[in-house]
């Protein structure tokens, strides 16, 4: 039932106008840019798209735009995680109605749910819709709350549309627990990393990533994927190290610095909503010097 979610999938930023309102025209450009530069899927709005700073109506509006603009060229998944679980369910139903290829959902925010409570949540969510659900594991951002390998196994056994996980623990033990327990139960389970940590995950059954750097350097992302899947480890190592330096640059006040970098690349996507700051001119200048030093300005597309 599931379209395959693999490769370097782009989770786009949310372009905003100077008054912080949604910038529809630029969003269309962002989506097109990613599809043209090699994205194997589009997913919106992850945290870097400021999901938690958007209203539910705004999220529905742009979800519709994403599905319409991508128009079946690659699969589109909608990130539905919201503070209120009721909103999550509403966004999931909406995603199905507008023809999205799947949804993405993190463990519930704030309340530090138990394993049983997480299980109950995903069971209800998956059963409320008929499209694929990709779970999202991010223990370091959520006070240690995680979907363990064991819990994955229970969810796979119960739910035919529980098809994958965005794994953002970036931890060897947690990753192997999922790969060795979940994959034998559902061999096409999409085990993808939260950002481009392809080198440490592909040898263990990882099938891709949700990209952060793709709005800056899509060519490098594709090259990392190709070298990893080809088993060209020395080259992959070299690219992954470069990618780490980029991640270090962009994770600062994420996604403020990413949007700052997009200005340098000729693809401005506007400011960042509060409480996050917008990258200052000084920060942009620093980003520019880093990108220059890494050779990104010479090897990656400029403008839309």
Partner 1 sequence: MSFEPGLVHAPLTPFTAGGRIDWETYAGVIQFHLANGADAIAVPMHSGEAVSLPDREKREIITFAVNEAGGVPVLAHASDSGTGIAAALARFAEAAGATAIITTTPYYWTPPAAMLVEHFAEVAGAVSLPFYAHNAPDDMAGIKVSVAIALELIDRAPNFIGVVDSGLDWQFMLELITEAPRKRPGFQLISGNEYMVSAGSIGATGLVSTLAAIAPQRVRALYDDCRADRLFEARKAQEDLAALRQVVKASGVAGLKAAARAMGRDMGAPRPPLKSLEASALAGLQQGLDALSALSGEPRGW
Binding residues for partner 1 (CB under 8 A)? 170-173, 175-177, 179-180, 197, 199-201, 203-205, 231, 233-234, 236-237, 240-241, 244-245, 247-248
CB of 153 to partner 1, least distance (A): 13
Contacts of 51 (CB under 8 A, 6+ apart): 45, 59, 79, 81, 82
Contacts of 177 (CB under 8 A, 6+ apart): 148, 149, 150
With tokens 């403020």, the residue in question is 256
R_g of the chain computed on alpha carbons: 18
Any idea what DSSP says for residue 190? E
Q: Report d(CA 24, CA 16) in Å as an integer.
A: 8
CB of 102 to partner 1, least distance (A): 26
CB of 203 to partner 1, least distance (A): 4
Nearer to partner 1 by Cβ, of 23 and 196: the residue is: 196
CA dihedral over 14, 19, 22, 25, signed as positive or negative: negative
CB of 179 to partner 1, least distance (A): 7
With tokens 């023809």, the residue in question is 99
Nearer to partner 1 by Cβ, of 98 and 176: the residue is: 176
Nearer to partner 1 by Cβ, of 180 and 302: the residue is: 180
Nearer to partner 1 by Cβ, of 114 and 172: the residue is: 172
Q: Report d(CA 129, CA 100) in Å as an integer.
A: 11
CB of 144 to partner 1, least distance (A): 11
Contacts of 187 (CB under 8 A, 6+ apart): none
Q: Report d(CA 107, CA 275) in Å as an integer.
A: 22
CB of 53 to partner 1, least distance (A): 25
Nearer to partner 1 by Cβ, of 240 and 284: the residue is: 240
CB of 135 to partner 1, least distance (A): 20
End-to-end alpha carbon distance in the chain: 34
Is the separation of the CB atoms in 117 and 84 below 8 Å? no
Selection from 69, 136, 122 nearest residue 98 by Cα: 69
Nearer to partner 1 by Cβ, of 83 and 112: the residue is: 112
Nearer to partner 1 by Cβ, of 216 and 236: the residue is: 236
């Amino acid at each position: 039932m599931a379209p395959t979610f693999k490769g370097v999938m782009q989770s786009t930023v949310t372009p905003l106008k100077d008054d912080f309102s949604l910038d529809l025209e630029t969003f269309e450009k962002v989506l097109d840019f990613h599809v043209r530069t090699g994205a194997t899927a589009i997913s919106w709005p992850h945290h870097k798209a400021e999901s938690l700073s958007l209203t539910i109506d705004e999220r529905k509006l742009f979800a519709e735009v994403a599905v319409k603009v991508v128009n079946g060229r690659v699969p589109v998944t909608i990130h539905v995680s919201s503070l209120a679980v009721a909103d999550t369910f509403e966004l999931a139903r909406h995603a199905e109605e507008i023809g999205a290829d799947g949804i993405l959902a993190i463990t519930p925010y704030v309340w530090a749910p138990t394993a049983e409570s997480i299980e109950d949540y995903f069971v209800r969510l998956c059963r409320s819709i008929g499209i694929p659900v990709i779970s999202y594991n991010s223990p370091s951002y959520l006070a240690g709350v995680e979907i363990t390998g064991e819990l994955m196994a229970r969810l796979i056994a119960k739910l035919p549309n529980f098809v994958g996980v965005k794994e953002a623990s970036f931890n060897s033990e947690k990753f192997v627990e999922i790969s060795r327990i979940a994959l034998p139960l559902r061999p096409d389970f999409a085990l993808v990393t939260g950002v481009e940590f392809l080198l440490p995950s592909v040898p263990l059954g990882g099938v891709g990533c949700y990209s952060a750097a793709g709005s800056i350097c899509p060519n490098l992302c594709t090259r990392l994927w190709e070298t990893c899947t080809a088993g060209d480890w020395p080259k992959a190592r070299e690219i992954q190290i470069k990618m780490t330096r980029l991640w270090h640059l962009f994770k600062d006040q994420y996604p403020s610095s990413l949007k700052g970098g997009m200005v340098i690349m000729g693809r401005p996507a506007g400011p960042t909503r509060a409480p996050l700051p917008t990258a200052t001119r000084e920060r942009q200048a620093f980003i520019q010097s880093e990108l220059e030093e890494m050779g990104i300005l010479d090897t990656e597309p400029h403008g839309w």
